[in-house]
Structure 1
Amino acid sequence: MDDNYLHIMDYVDAILIVDSHGKILYSVRFNPRFDKDSHEGEYESIINKNFLEVYPNINPDESTIINSIKYKKPIYLNEQAIVDYKGRLINTQNLTIPIIRSGKVLGAIELSKDITKIEEKAKYKINLKPIINNRETSHKAIYTFDDIVTVNQEMLHNIRRAKIIADNPSSVLIYGETGTGKELFAQSIHNYSSRRGKPFVAQNCAALPENLFESMLFGSVKGAFTGAVDKPGLFEEANGGTLLLDEINSMPLSLQAKLLRVLQDGLVRRVGDNRDRKVDVRIITAMNIEPSKAIEQGQIREDLFYRLSVVNIKLLPLRKRKEDIPVYVEYFIDEFNQKLNKNIKGVSKEVEELFFKYNWPGNVRELRHVIESSMNFVESGEIKLIHLPVYLSEKINQEERVESLDEIVNVSNVELSLDEVVEKTEREMIVRALEKSGGNISRAADMLKITRQRLHYKISKYNIKTGQTV
């Protein structure tokens, strides 16, 4: 992050926290223009509302919050004029930072400084764009199949299949857990097709409130609703190219019916309009659950599913292709050696073993986050256990405790009673304490935090011989 931001934003007077869907979790303004007592109830009233409902003039495509969540990057905006749902103008400087845990984006926190001038309340002009160094906000796909790193045979088969269908107009459904690379595949398909010079438009369906979804997707005409302007929707913006609808199962069922019509006829109608517009768009959809489960839970219409899934691509989670872990480790170390100007050689044997033990719920995205986090603390040589994020060791220990309990409870696949589990666990702890103490009863009792007399009783009860091993 550019340190210049700290010089420009020498203080903040407002904090907004939203979840990954844009729902407001916390909001407060300390500026004297907003009296604390008179606005306390107001702040409470907007909790759990989508921030786009509270600030209806914000364009979702240019929203610092949506882009920070989508691209997992801090975003600084020198000046932003917004109008809240009460019609009040607020001109701010913003620093928006994604909230990430285990590689998964949980939401964003926006720190802002009110810079509203009196004359701006009567007249203002909004023509501002967030500062993002990459080309990610433009409708352009930046990834190709060469960017997909894998040695797993099923994933390589997915790449071969994706290349075969890349130039076909058929709809594609990509499904896999969060962090498995769904948008990476979608962009690669686009760039491998004859549409590669045309727009690639991506939208996360879970990031938009239902009342704005239709106008975002199909566009609007002036006067269609309060604040509506003549604006093309995502289909028109993607005309000639590809439209990726991520988390399609989060789209309201009422809109799914309208989407089905567009897929059948190739026609879109803006909200408030009385005429149809012809569009030529390749549709790629993605979801992070099994399609059969989404249908069963009523998250997606069955008829829409069949229309969207002419081609299916299932991406494996990292725990089911652990042969890719060393490949990704090397790839990400090379990446962050360049970004951080370091020369880290690799990971220690212990770290490699730990990586293979871990289940990686955040998949490749989480592994990348772990490598980046660790490399910030390595001065030279290799990444060791001490450099890893604390949560990783804790989660692995937790998984091992669960596995250990499973082993105790299900010895030889025979279920034990609670009393039998307690006795087995007690016996093993006593034997280990005696091993560590060299058979010294007093030291073993201290380790177990029980009296010598009680330990003698347990040794006799379980018929444990001094020097016996587990």
Structure 2
Amino acid sequence: MDSQLASAISIFMEFLDALPQPVAIVDAAGNYVYYNEESAHIDDYQAAHALGHPVLQIYPQLNQHSSTLLQAAFKGKRYHNQYQLYYNPGGNPVHQVHTTLPLQNNDGDIIGAIEISRDLSVINHLHEQFIDLQQKLHGQQPPADDGIVTCEPDMQKLIHQAQRLAKTDVQVLIYGETGTGKELFARLLHTHSERARQPFLVLNCAAMPEPLFESALFGTVKGAFTGAEDRKGLLESAHGGTLFLDELNSMPMAVQGKLLRALQEQTFRRVGSSQECQVDVRIIAATNESPQTMLDKQRIRPDLLYRLNVGYLTIPPLRERKRDIPLLAQAFLEKNGKITGNRVKRISPAVLERLQRHRWPGNVRMLENIILRSLIFCENGDELDFILLEEDEQQLEPLAPSSTTTALPAPPAVDIEASASLEAQVAAYERTLLLHYLKRYPNLSEAARQCGLPRATLQYKMKKYGIRLAQQVIGG
């Protein structure tokens, strides 16, 4: 091994060993000189058996041209965030994104190459399973209602607009904040169209790793890259139906250009293929940024935006749908009622009033999560009479001593039987303290602050000790 390469490995050995990513180094002859445990785990191969051996001896399905490590070591090529699929010595496919660089000595001569990788095998496997499941289920589910709960005239008008757009078969762009229910409107557009009996497939662009994007959308042919096999992409799988592209503003620009061509020509090519595939699919896209914002931030190609923005729907945030909040809250209570054995039947007026005053930055999805969380802590009764909002979960900072703060009078003595257990005595004393604070500070948030407790913890203790307050305090 080159002395400078050996010295460098010795210096950085501890650091490389600590990295939670596969790292491999070869010398100028293509022999492994460093191979960490993460690489050994993914490749299902012992590190001791790899060191000193040529890359092609361990991976006979590779060659000098297809191995990025050898191309870097022999040709000085550089790879940044390169996607590669290969088969490890155990015969299992490995999906990776890696950066591979040549290593040079002080004279500029190449003395080896280093490769740092990120394993995508689990993500790719789950995504393939998800596509397969969508393909299997699309024809098995009976038509359902739209699932949009509203009494607001503006929302009802929006639903009517969506139903009219559904019958035209044009592409549609849906804009709305996160959690407003964009996918519900996408499904409405599909179920009210002539494509209703055909597939409705979903691609969340924000959740898809960029290196997998093109193959997931357009599919692959065998031999397109190392380990690639014939596989349909979502575009082909949705033929005759609808493909919903959620979070369109997260789609890579290079993929947007190919999607635009598929929309214009109604043809596309699988990755690695020269054969054109015909496709008949309706695209519905959603974004949490306005069209102008996407253009300003260069997150969408203008020509793709204009192609998709034939039909346009804007979903209002929940804070602009105050009258819908009680309906939605009750619907979520009934949906998640099994948590309490369907014991809780209704929501108290005080809680409903507080829900309607909240700003709901997470919109309808946040409301459902809040109802679910509150039901978990609802131990008694058939009414949900308290609510746990996000701010209730934040730990409060202890109050700094202040010369202007009026000291709280000592709580009254607690009459406890001498035979009571320590746990019972502590509980009785805690209950008395809570009543003392709540009497002095009838606003629940202020009482929690003075106690040095999160509001949610105070509410839980009130439920535990059977302390019930007036409506204005519960809603406080």
User: What are the superposed Cα offsets for residues 242-290 of structure 1, whole Å, 9 maximum, x if unpaired?
Assistant: 0001111111111111111111111111111112111110110011111
**Alpha-carbon contact 1:357-1:396 (below 8 Å) kept:** no
Q: What residue in structure 1 maps to residue 275 of structure 2?
A: 275
Q: What residue in structure 2 maps to residue 245 of structure 1?
A: 245
What secondary structure sits across from 2:203 in the alignment?
A: strand
Displacement of 1:313: 0.6
Distance of 1:176 and 1:281 partners within structure 2: 23
Displacement of 1:146: 3.8
In the alignment, structure 1 segments of 5+ residues that lack a partner are 1-25, 30-36, 44-50, 58-80, 87-111, 113-125, 399-425, 437-448, 450-470
In the alignment, structure 2 segments of 5+ residues that lack a partner are 1-18, 23-34, 42-80, 97-121, 410-449, 451-476
Matched AA of 1:355: L
Q: What residue in structure 2 maps to residue 373 of structure 1?
A: 373
Structure 1 runs (4+) deviating above 4 angstroms are 26-29, 40-43, 51-57, 126-131, 134-137, 140-145, 394-398
What secondary structure sits across from 2:173 in the alignment?
A: strand
CA separation of 1:202 and 1:129: change in aligned 2, threshold 3 A: closer
**Alpha-carbon contact 2:239-2:279 (below 8 Å) kept:** yes
CA separation of 1:279 and 1:340: change in aligned 2, threshold 3 A: farther
Bigger CA drift: 332-341 or 200-209?
332-341
Distance of 1:84 and 1:357 partners within structure 2: 51
What secondary structure sits across from 1:232 in the alignment?
A: coil
What secondary structure sits across from 1:147 in the alignment?
A: coil
Distance of 1:257 and 1:145 partners within structure 2: 35
Distance of 1:210 and 1:224 partners within structure 2: 17
Distance of 2:406 and 2:127 partners within structure 1: 67
TM-score (norm 1): 0.57
Larger radius of gyration between Structure 1 and Structure 2: 2
Distance of 1:54 and 1:384 partners within structure 2: 55
User: What are the superposed Cα offsets for residues 280-332 of structure 1, whole Å, 9 maximum, x if unpaired?
Assistant: 10110011111110111000011110110100011111111111110111111
Distance of 1:375 and 1:237 partners within structure 2: 40
User: Cα RMSD over matched residues?
Assistant: 4.1
Matched AA of 1:363: N
**Alpha-carbon contact 1:143-1:184 (below 8 Å) kept:** no
Q: What residue in structure 2 maps to residue 39 of structure 1?
A: 37
Matched AA of 2:361: P
Distance of 1:172 and 1:293 partners within structure 2: 18
Distance of 2:347 and 2:85 partners within structure 1: 47
Displacement of 1:394: 5.2
**Alpha-carbon contact 2:82-2:211 (below 8 Å) kept:** no
**Alpha-carbon contact 2:85-2:228 (below 8 Å) kept:** no
User: What are the superposed Cα offsets for residues 159-181 of structure 1, whole Å, 9 maximum, x if unpaired?
Assistant: 00011111222100111111111
> Counterparts in 2 of 1:131-170, with a 5 A limit?
138-139=137-138, 144-170=144-170
2:321 pairs with 1:312:
no
Q: What residue in structure 1 maps to residue 388 of structure 2?
A: 389
**Alpha-carbon contact 2:195-2:242 (below 8 Å) kept:** yes
> Counterparts in 2 of 1:77-96, with a 5 A limit?
83-84=93-94
**Alpha-carbon contact 1:269-1:275 (below 8 Å) kept:** yes
Displacement of 1:209: 2.0
CA separation of 1:136 and 1:365: change in aligned 2, threshold 3 A: farther
Distance of 2:82 and 2:159 partners within structure 1: 38
TM-score (norm 2): 0.56
Percent identical pairs in the alignment equals 40
User: What are the superposed Cα offsets for residues 383-433 of structure 1, whole Å, 9 maximum, x if unpaired?
Assistant: 233xx33634357999xxxxxxxxxxxxxxxxxxxxxxxxxxx9xx97x96
Displacement of 1:143: 7.2
Matched AA of 2:299: Q
What secondary structure sits across from 2:174 in the alignment?
A: strand
What secondary structure sits across from 2:162 in the alignment?
A: helix
User: What are the superposed Cα offsets for residues 94-122 of structure 1, whole Å, 9 maximum, x if unpaired?
Assistant: xxxxxxxxxxxxxxxxxx9xxxxxxxxxx
**Alpha-carbon contact 2:218-2:270 (below 8 Å) kept:** yes
What secondary structure sits across from 1:222 in the alignment?
A: coil
> Counterparts in 2 of 1:256-271, with a 5 A limit?
256-271=256-271
Q: What residue in structure 2 maps to residue 302 of structure 1?
A: 302
Distance of 2:135 and 2:368 partners within structure 1: 19
**Alpha-carbon contact 1:176-1:287 (below 8 Å) kept:** yes
User: What are the superposed Cα offsets for residues 195-239 of structure 1, whole Å, 9 maximum, x if unpaired?
Assistant: 111011110112222222111111111111111111111111000
Q: What residue in structure 1 maps to residue 15 of structure 2?
A: none
> Counterparts in 2 of 1:47-446, with a 5 A limit?
83-84=93-94, 138-139=137-138, 144-338=144-338, 340-378=340-378, 379-385=380-386, 388-389=387-388, 391-393=390-392
**Alpha-carbon contact 1:245-1:285 (below 8 Å) kept:** yes
User: What are the superposed Cα offsets for residues 22-66 of structure 1, whole Å, 9 maximum, x if unpaired?
Assistant: xxxx9699xxxxxxx9526989xxxxxxx9969888xxxxxxxxx
Matched AA of 1:197: R
Q: How many residues align?
A: 306
**Alpha-carbon contact 1:144-1:184 (below 8 Å) kept:** no
Distance of 2:293 and 2:236 partners within structure 1: 31
Distance of 1:396 and 1:180 partners within structure 2: 28
What secondary structure sits across from 2:170 in the alignment?
A: coil
**Alpha-carbon contact 1:219-1:270 (below 8 Å) kept:** yes
